[in-house]
Amino acid sequence: MVERGIRKIRAHVWIEGRVQGVFFRGSAWRMAQNLGITGWIKNRWDGKVEAIFEGEEKAVQKMVDWSRKGPPAAIVEDIQIKWEEWTGSFDSFSAH
């Protein structure tokens, strides 16, 4: 979606590695707040972290780039990204 010349996008991501128990979700929440991203992030039963990032294209790309490394204690081994259309269905960013 393009709104006033600013393209909005959505990224659905799955992050694998040492990403649970290392403050990944809390750090992602803080980063999302700084970037104006909406959506959510949660730990999965299989040890991965899953997230949806929505917002301005540049901000979402920065969030995805950050997710490739995560906070200092994380070791990201793989990240899968599914680029989707922006839906505008979130008012904020939450960490579950």
Catalytic, out of 4, 34, 43, 68 = 43
Decide if 25 is catalytic.
Answer: yes
Phi, psi (rounded to 5 degrees) for 26: -65, -40
Catalytic, out of 7, 18, 25, 30 = 25
Please give the positions annotated as active site: 25, 43
